[in-house]
Amino acid sequence: MFKSSYTEQGSIVTITFVGDIILSNSEEIKGVFRQCLENGPEIVGIDCKGAHTMDSSGLGMFIGFSKDAAQKNARIVIMDLPEGISRLFNMSKLDTYFDLMTRQDFQKTYLK
């Protein structure tokens, strides 16, 4: 089962994904992200603490999110990657492509 939600605080949107970030959930995941970009946020935080797994299409979605955000002059920050997904980001060198941090650091940095 996959669930998503988001909150807006000024120019910052925080999306929370719970479940599997995989091909079969891609339409819902992409839909939530597109909806969050509609109001032109400066920062989009993606909280992955509740994510269970991510496949190659999930990685592709995140790369696509980065491109979509850049077109809107928004920055993506990914929070609290579970260990297995963090290893996937490291192996694919996406840890150098994205801003990765804990939710606590995100709140200190952006939600002052």
Question: Residue 7: what pLDDT?
Answer: 96
The fraction of the chain above a pLDDT of 90, given in percent, is 96
Asked if residue 81 belongs to a domain, the reply is: yes
Asked if residue 14 belongs to a domain, the reply is: yes
- Rounding to the nearest 10 degrees, give the CA dihedral for residues 22, 24, 30, 35: -120
Question: Residue 112: what pLDDT?
Answer: 76
Asked if residue 26 belongs to a domain, the reply is: yes
For the stretch 3-13, pLDDT in tens is: 999 999 999 99
Cβ-Cβ contacts under 8 Å for 99 (sequence gap 6 or more): 75, 76, 77, 78
CATH number at residue 65: 3.30.750.24
CB 88, CB 52: distance < 8 Å: no
CB 101, CB 109: distance < 8 Å: yes
Total domain count for the chain? 1
The domain of 15 spans 9-110
Asked if residue 4 belongs to a domain, the reply is: no
Asked if residue 104 belongs to a domain, the reply is: yes
CA-to-CA dists, residue 79 to 24, 44, angstroms: 22, 10
For the stretch 30-62, pLDDT in tens is: 999 999 999 999 999 999 999 999 999 999 999
